[in-house]
């Protein structure tokens, strides 16, 4: 840690490559995505666009979220093709 604010490096600087896995980004989440498997069409857009790699995929099938890394940005819900249907595959819910 630097001593004064003048010595702090610019935002976005990576001090230790590969260290993102150590941070619990989910701890600051206000809303969380909830996956409704029965409504999912397995397009995997949520997986492609997730900036946190929080969407689990195994054998080319989407699985539950990794909430440890999910910061609740809602990108997955926004890119989901089912978002305009009454039975959405991903909804954003309060993180209580």
Give per-residue pLDDT as tens, 51-61: 989 999 999 99
Q: Quick check: 62 and 46 in contact, CB under 8 A?
A: yes
User: Tens digits of per-residue pLDDT, 39-49?
Assistant: 999 999 999 99
Q: What is the pLDDT of residue 41?
A: 97
Q: What is the pLDDT of residue 2?
A: 47
Domain 23-94 = CATH 3.40.50.300: no
Lowest mean pLDDT among 32-36, 67-71, 79-83: 67-71
Q: Quick check: 8 and 67 in contact, CB under 8 A?
A: no
Rg from Cα positions in the chain: 16
């Amino acid at each position: 840690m630097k001593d004064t604010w003048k010595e702090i490096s610019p935002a976005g600087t990576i001090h230790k490559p590969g260290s993102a896995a150590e941070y619990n980004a989910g701890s600051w989440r206000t809303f969380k995505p909830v996956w409704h498997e029965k409504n999912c069409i397995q397009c995997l857009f949520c997986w492609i666009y997730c900036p946190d790699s929080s969407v689990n995929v195994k054998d080319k099938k989407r699985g539950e979220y990794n909430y440890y890394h999910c910061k609740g940005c809602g990108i997955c819900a926004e890119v989901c093709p089912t978002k305009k249907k009454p039975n959405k595959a991903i909804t954003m819910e309060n993180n209580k």
